[in-house]
Amino acid sequence: MARGHAISWSQSETDNLLPWLYRNRHLSWEGKSRAYFLQHRVVRSVESLRGKKYQLLRKGRKQQRPLVPGGTKKRRRQYLLRRKPRDLPESPPILRVGSPDPELWQMVQNLQVSLETSSLHSSQSMEMDSDDASDESF
């Protein structure tokens, strides 16, 4: 493919390209190239239109990126950690659980033992009842 003369983009063309492409998004890239020529009387190839579009999109992302001086993720995280939100109330102090209360610990142990024994007795009585029922059936 032979290249013609390179025509630089004017500032007004650059500023209006993305909105123009959005208004003509229903056209194919070939159709956009033809429509651009008819409207602006400047020959722009498909590659030129598409390349300028992506260049502007990349430029827009780069301009939006530096939320924090330096712009790196690490610096942003550090900034957010240092920043104190003004809308939120103070967080409660951290609750530290010490060693368990010995009396409470003993009560829990006794409860577990009593539950195990009661379930053991109930299962044994159920087995005995089922044995008695099976003996009576003969």
Answer yes or no: is 88 within a domain: no
- Is the same domain home to 78 and 15? yes
- Is the same domain home to 51 and 15? yes
Listed in order, strand segments (DSSP E) in 3-136 are none
How many CA atoms lie less than 13 Å away from 41 in the CB half-sphere?
0
What is the per-residue pLDDT across 20-59, written as a single tens digit (0 to 9) for each? 999 999 999 999 999 999 999 999 999 999 999 999 888 8
Count, in order, helices (H) and strands (E) of the chain: 5, 0
Per cent of the chain over pLDDT 70 is 61
- Is the same domain home to 75 and 113? no
Average pLDDT value over all residues in the chain: 76
Assess whether pLDDT exceeds 90 at residue 116.
no
Give the range of the structural domain holding residue 58, as residue numbers without chain letter. Answer: 11-82
DSSP conformational letter for 28: -
Domain total for the chain?
A: 2
- Is the same domain home to 48 and 105? no
More confident residue, 113 or 71: 113
Answer yes or no: is 28 within a domain: yes
CB 111: neighbour CB atoms within 10 A? Answer: 10
Q: What is the mean pLDDT of residues 107-111?
A: 86
